[in-house]
Amino acid sequence: MKISARNRLKGTVVDVTKGATTAHVRIDVGGSVVTASITNEAVDELQLKVGDSAYAVVKASDVMVAVD
């Protein structure tokens, strides 16, 4: 499946924490850690676990820009 989302950052899963309904998945992308808040069901379906290769995917309209 090819998706319109412009941003796909490849990395390695470094943490998976499930909550009651919402999980936090952390992906190391070239030294920066990206946090994703997704459903527990998605974690199960993708069988995400520490050490897996994975992409952090973000739609362009969800990216902001900041400057110091």
Binding site for its own copies (CB under 8 A): 1-10, 17-25, 27, 29-32, 34-39, 41-43, 45-46, 48, 52-68
- Residue 22 beta carbon to its own copies: minimum distance, rounded to whole angstroms: 5
- Residue 7 beta carbon to its own copies: minimum distance, rounded to whole angstroms: 5
- Residue 47 beta carbon to its own copies: minimum distance, rounded to whole angstroms: 8
Residues whose CB is less than 8 angstroms from the CB of residue 49 and which lie 6 or more positions away in sequence, other chains included: 13, 16
Backbone torsions φ then ψ of 4, nearest 5 degrees: -70, -20
